[in-house]
């Protein structure tokens, strides 16, 4: 039994471009394995505006996203929001919000859940149709394990 505030939403932000799809892959596997039946909503979204769509101020949020390459593809980072590192990122798009921007906007609109955890997996390549790289694919089960450990911890 998970003790987190309900609804618990696990949201993967991604795109079909190479390792940027890793968060979608995590969500897909969690759905397939019917992880925590009835206890968790899973969402695969593209971009910050779609992230905003699933927030209503209630419950808990776990956000998963790819990280820009930094030399260690497949390595994972965990943040709790608010996190100074993420808020400092500047706005990024003509027609979308970055995930961190969406979280800030959600906070100012009063629709950000009280508990927000962010998991990032460092990507390697982001070419269209390249698929997820081996190093990043190897990180997916590790991330799922970490999520499970965190959710099920008493």
CB of 104 to other proteins, least distance (A): 5
- Collapsing DSSP states into helix, strand and coil, what is residue 136? helix
Q: Please, what is the minimum distance in Å from the beta carbon of residue 2 to other proteins? A: 26
Count CB-CB contacts under 10 A for residue 112: 21
Q: Length of the chain, please?
A: 154
Minimum distance, C-beta of residue 154 to other proteins, in the bound complex (Å):
30
Strand partners for 85: none
| Dist. CA 11–CA 149, nearest whole Å | 17
CB of 140: closest distance to other proteins in angstroms? 16
The residues that touch other proteins, with contacts defined as CB under 8 A, are 13, 15-18, 20, 44-50, 52-53, 65-68, 70, 77, 85-86, 89-101, 104-105, 108-109, 120, 123, 126-129
Residue among 25 and 65 whose Cβ is closer to other proteins: 65
Q: Which residue, 2 or 78, is less far from other proteins as judged by CB?
A: 78
What residues contact 134, with CB distance under 8 A and at least 6 apart? none
């Amino acid at each position: 039994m998970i003790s987190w505030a309900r609804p618990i939403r696990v949201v993967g932000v991604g795109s079909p471009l190479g390792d940027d799809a890793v968060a979608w892959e995590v969500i897909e596997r969690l759905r397939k394995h019917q992880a925590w039946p009835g206890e968790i909503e899973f969402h695969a979204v593209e971009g910050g505006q779609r992230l905003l769509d699933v927030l209503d101020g209630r419950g808990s949020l776990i956000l998963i996203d790819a990280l820009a390459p930094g030399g260690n593809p497949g390595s994972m980072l965990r943040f709790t929001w608010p996190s100074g590192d993420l808020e400092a990122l500047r706005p990024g798009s003509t027609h979308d919000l970055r995930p961190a921007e969406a979280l800030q906007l959600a906070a100012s609109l009063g629709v950000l859940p009280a508990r927000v955890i962010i998991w990032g997996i460092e990507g390697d390549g982001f070419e269209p149709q390249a698929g997820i790289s081996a190093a990043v694919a190897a990180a997916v089960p590790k991330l799922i394990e970490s999520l499970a450990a965190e959710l099920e911890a008493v």
